[in-house]
Structure 1
């Protein structure tokens, strides 16, 4: 009876925790539209969501880790995160407000490793991902004019689609990879969202998003092929698809700016990263590479950002360098030290698809550190640490797909 009461209380807290995460994520997606008339209302709702995340996580975590290596590394990571927040902190209202709404929580996402987990915990995550998928589709339809517009000038609205994708769209692939546990309705939502992401990213020539989403689609196809009982039929369909694509794709790909592939064709292999990477390297000393420049870390790179007056940038599009900018190679190394063994355990020493997908997701997140910003306050980053926890959980890795399916359906 005590155990049932404990698990019921845990599930209730996790329900409110993930609900707070969903509210914050959808609010962050709304801010990508730069609808300034709504910003105060959105920030008020997000503030309540942040307090909800802190309260329900803080009242649930248990400071007990079975794996000795993870325990030591996690303690060092959390202590170093506090150092980053204190290093370079500006005691001003504007800085504190910006830090509260966008940055500081993500440094403590590894605390997810300390939350007691049952299969209901993972079921709640998939519930939130489905909500994200519906919100992603609705927001793209509602703000279609901003999403599909090709802006010649550098204005904030040109990144509306990127905001929707980062805050809402990415986790849908995690649901799709684990399709065997979900209903056809949920899988269809995830599949439609992934197709929409590929289509819009191609039209807007967002090459990093396009590459990652196509990779997600290919991974899903491989998983589906392995799990399917109709491999011969699938092989024929795939061969037909590739054949049709090879014949007709060149006819659609025209060297015309106003065609569907026009923007992609115009940008081609344009290099938009090397300049800022070189600028950061020039401005960094040896000690900066080791420990970073703290939470307010910046580097000299003028004439890049919109309305830039100082010449300094607080972020860089290459996210592994973004982590180094704030916490140095030490911080990046601590993340990799915990993540890589977890990915290896989850993929190679597991009996169920959820664990193997967790290993895949960890590697995808690490690889995404170059083309995208994934070290964010969003569900994708939280999923990364959830997957790390799966990798270090022997009990989770040894479960069967049948047991997980049964728990997901209840």
Structure 2
């Protein structure tokens, strides 16, 4: 939506300072589009490559093109400007520390560099994600974010159909099938939950696509008994429902319908609890797959390692977990806050918390619009999900954490009138 003299959005503005969040030059809009296009190519290329059914050279070619576009778009938009002194100081300290984590990584041979460039989950670009705080807080950037979320959701649904045979009919213990579900869901599908948290800003078509995306993730998580994935996909759905219930004009009807749905689910569980869909999940429900790995981690970490971590390529000794791992050393631990400590120590984890916790509080409790509150909720969900899943990755799911941090620390964005955001993001509701 273009902002002009005849645009009704301007009639809602009581302060001219709001205009800078609505107006963006054509050149900057094109550069931001370049940034998002590059990210889409890189992310989808990575997800397809992890299926192992497509030639990885082709996928990495798309990733390479995506990286070129992404970084050109990003670096032309960076502005070292902060509204908050506290955030400025902590950002500088945190980013310097992340660069030290990279420098302490070692192993900069050809194969290591290739992995760092093309691994979207644990590669080197993860450590540059906080740079998103330096992109100016403009509503066009956030509007494009919603577009990218939708496109990734469609990519997730399309690839899930394309690889349905490998997902649905594969053996439940098949590691490749599990990996496809995890990668597709966390890399492509999960950001759709943010659209559900901001329902008021979207058309019915977008709402339906987002809902179908999240429900598909939940269904696949149940099918493959991925408990962590089930938790992180269910929590935002419940919070989105709470937001909808709070804003609904027909609360009584919604509550009655909800009670009926819950009752139907309970009855279904009572009569069909041995059904094939839920049997595998029930069998794994109390299975402990974390304790042994975490104990290995605790035994391998020295006091110095706990404080400063082991660097970008840091590992810990845990034999017998990965069948194809002959050395017994692992560079990933599935408990995400321990993963952060493994690489950057308690210093890295502490600085992250010092930035994100106040941001979540500001967004949820000190804002006047749903957009900022949803951003605060997204940060909170990321912190909660650090135990059952991997959040800190170079994926949109984690990029949105830092975008949300920028939103929450910006008083101007937090104080934007709800009507302005509604008209800007969805001028023609349907």
Compute the TM-score of the two structures, normalised by the length of structure 2.
0.91
* Alignment of structure 1 residues 54-73 onto 2, 5 Å: 54-73=71-90
In structure 2, distance between residues paired with 1:90 and 1:57: 27
Other-structure match for 1:198: 218
Q: 1:115 to 1:270 in 2, by over 3 A?
A: same
Q: 1:326 to 1:359 in 2, by over 3 A?
A: same
Secondary structure class of the residue paired with 1:140: helix
Other-structure match for 1:311: 328
Q: 1:282 to 1:42 in 2, by over 3 A?
A: same
* Alignment of structure 1 residues 269-308 onto 2, 5 Å: 269-308=286-325
Other-structure match for 1:350: 367
Secondary structure class of the residue paired with 2:96: helix
In structure 1, distance between residues paired with 2:72 and 2:373: 31
Residue deviations 1:256-308 (CA, integer Å, cap 9, x gap): 7xx11121122121011111110010011000000000000000011211411
Deviation at 1:7, TM superposition (A): 2.3
Deviation at 1:55, TM superposition (A): 1.6
In structure 1, distance between residues paired with 2:302 and 2:171: 37
* Alignment of structure 1 residues 209-248 onto 2, 5 Å: 209-248=229-268
Secondary structure class of the residue paired with 1:302: coil
In structure 2, distance between residues paired with 1:65 and 1:158: 42
In structure 2, distance between residues paired with 1:250 and 1:212: 25
Query: Which is further off, 375-384 or 114-123?
Result: 114-123
Deviation at 1:79, TM superposition (A): 0.8
Other-structure match for 1:329: 346
Deviation at 1:100, TM superposition (A): 1.2
Other-structure match for 2:11: none
In structure 2, distance between residues paired with 1:404 and 1:93: 47
Deviation at 1:70, TM superposition (A): 0.7
In structure 2, distance between residues paired with 1:291 and 1:83: 10
2:185 matches 1:168: no
For structure 2, the residue ranges without an aligned partner over 5 or more in a row are 5-19
Deviation at 1:401, TM superposition (A): 1.6
Other-structure match for 1:33: 51
Quick check: 1:34–1:157 contact (8 Å CA) kept in 2? Answer: no
Other-structure match for 1:183: 203
* Alignment of structure 1 residues 20-169 onto 2, 5 Å: 20-35=38-53, 37-102=54-119, 103-149=123-169, 151=171, 153=173, 155-169=175-189
Count of aligned pairs: 405
Residue deviations 1:351-403 (CA, integer Å, cap 9, x gap): 10000001100000011110000100100100000000011100000011210
In structure 1, distance between residues paired with 2:40 and 2:24: 24
In structure 1, distance between residues paired with 2:379 and 2:425: 22
Q: 1:129 to 1:303 in 2, by over 3 A?
A: same
Quick check: 1:154–1:306 contact (8 Å CA) kept in 2? Answer: no
Other-structure match for 2:9: none
Other-structure match for 1:268: 285
RMSD of aligned Cα (Å): 1.7
In structure 2, distance between residues paired with 1:56 and 1:89: 29
Secondary structure class of the residue paired with 2:55: helix
Q: Which of 207, 222, 225 is 2:227 aligned to?
A: 207
Deviation at 1:152, TM superposition (A): 5.5
2:401 matches 1:384: yes
For structure 1, the residue ranges without an aligned partner over 5 or more in a row are none
Secondary structure class of the residue paired with 2:364: helix
2:390 matches 1:373: yes
Deviation at 1:63, TM superposition (A): 1.2
Quick check: 1:151–1:158 contact (8 Å CA) kept in 2? Answer: no
Quick check: 1:374–1:380 contact (8 Å CA) kept in 2? Answer: yes
Quick check: 1:146–1:158 contact (8 Å CA) kept in 2? Answer: no
Secondary structure class of the residue paired with 1:260: helix
In structure 1, distance between residues paired with 2:101 and 2:279: 43
Deviation at 1:6, TM superposition (A): 6.0
In structure 1, distance between residues paired with 2:315 and 2:69: 31
Deviation at 1:67, TM superposition (A): 1.0
